[in-house]
């Protein structure tokens, strides 16, 4: 028996690098990727920032690969920052994104004056074989995201693939609907350690209190005593992990 928050802790991850992605994505022609920009807002100007960013996103990032979604980071070391996200996209879509002219002028004059700092700009690619997110049509359906970042140990880490394959298999076998996904950072992050991240998507906070029998299901689908092996694999594969809660911000997004 395991509560959903613990399940989410076991399920969340998001950065590793091109080497692992090339193995995870067998068909590179239709991969899904998101550009995430972490911004520190000026909290004294939040009302203006909200209005201006909403207008910018609706005008320039409403549909297609350049569609934008905004999240508030509500917990963890980056709490108080916001995520401006574009996608799903592919690298080629950067060649057709809104740019010079009215778009850049609007971002420069009406958004950036209310931003204290641009923290990171990252590209995250989904593992289409492992992910269980097809039921998500709009983020308003699942406005709460439980994110766990994983920093992989130095050197080779053959256990990464097995670790997330087991979780994916378990999530898909659970009763009910449990959107979940694994994402890999396309570029190295130096000492930031943001190699892999998993997302669990929830419609409300009440879902966090539900018991989903995760360990029981894990052992059932992966083999007797496989949970203990998973815990051991975790210890030798990752050297750091941390969690965040992201809250969908409908007032700033381009929906």
Per-residue pLDDT reduced to its tens digit, 7-60: 443 443 333 333 344 444 445 578 999 999 999 999 999 999 999 999 999 999
pLDDT given for residue 33 in this prediction: 98
Per-residue pLDDT reduced to its tens digit, 177-213: 999 999 999 998 777 889 999 999 999 999 999 999 9
- Region 139-159: mean pLDDT is 93
Domain boundaries, the chain: 4-248
**pLDDT tier at 254, thresholds 50, 70, 90:** confident
58 SS3 class: helix
Q: Which segment of 10-14, 150-154, 167-171 scores lowest on mean pLDDT?
A: 10-14
Closest C-alpha among 17, 10, 255, 253 to residue 146: 10
Per-residue pLDDT reduced to its tens digit, 68-108: 999 999 999 999 999 999 999 999 999 999 988 999 999 99
What are the tokens at 95?
A: 């060649």
- Region 155-184: mean pLDDT is 95
Top pLDDT among 24 and 163 is at 163
Per-residue pLDDT reduced to its tens digit, 207-233: 999 999 999 999 999 999 999 999 999
68 in Cβ contact with 86 (< 8 Å): yes
Does the structural domain 4-248 have CATH classification 3.30.70.100?
yes
Q: What is the DSSP string of 96-154?
A: SSS-TTHHHHHIIIIIGGGEEEEEEEEEEEE-TTT-B-TT-S-GGGS-EEEEEEEEEPS
pLDDT given for residue 7 in this prediction: 40
- Distance CA(183)–CA(19), nearest Å, equals 13
Beta bridge partners of 196: 14, 184
- Distance CA(195)–CA(184), nearest Å, equals 6
CA distances from 222 to 6, 7, 162, 173 (A): 18, 16, 11, 11
Pair type for strands 115-126 and 180-185: antiparallel
Closest C-alpha among 252, 243, 163 to residue 208: 243
240 in Cβ contact with 148 (< 8 Å): no
**pTM listed for this prediction:** 0.88
pLDDT given for residue 25 in this prediction: 46
Q: At residue 3, does pLDDT exceed 90? A: no
pLDDT given for residue 28 in this prediction: 59
- Region 111-131: mean pLDDT is 97
157: left (phi over 0), alpha (psi -120 to 50) or beta: beta
């Amino acid at each position: 028996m395991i509560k959903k928050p613990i399940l989410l802790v076991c399920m969340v991850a998001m950065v590793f690098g091109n080497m692992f992605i090339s193995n995870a994505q067998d068909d590179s022609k239709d991969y899904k990727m998101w550009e995430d920009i972490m911004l520190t807002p000026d909290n004294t100007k939040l009302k203006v920032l909200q209005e201006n960013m909403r207008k910018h996103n609706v005008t320039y990032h409403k549909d297609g690969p350049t569609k934008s979604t905004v999240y508030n980071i509500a917990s963890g070391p980056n709490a108080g920052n916001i995520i401006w996200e574009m996608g799903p996209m592919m690298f080629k879509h950067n060649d057709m994104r809104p740019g010079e002219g009215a778009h850049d002028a609007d971002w420069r004059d009406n958004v950036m004056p209310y931003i204290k700092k641009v923290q990171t700009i990252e590209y995250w690619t989904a593992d289409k074989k492992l992910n269980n997110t097809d039921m998500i049509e709009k983020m308003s359906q699942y406005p709460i995201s439980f994110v766990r970042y994983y920093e992989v140990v130095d050197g080779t880490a053959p256990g990464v693939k097995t670790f997330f394959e087991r979780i994916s298999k378990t999530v898909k076998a659970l009763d009910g609907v449990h959107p979940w996904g694994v994402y890999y950072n396309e570029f190295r992050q130096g000492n930031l350690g943001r190699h892999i991240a998993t997302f669990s998507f929830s419609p409300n906070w009440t879902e966090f209190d539900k018991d989903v029998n995760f360990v029981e299901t894990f052992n059932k689908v992966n083999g007797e005593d496989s949970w203990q092996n998973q815990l051991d694999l975790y210890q030798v594969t990752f050297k750091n992990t941390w969690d965040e809660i992201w809250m969908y911000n409908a007032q700033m997004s381009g929906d």
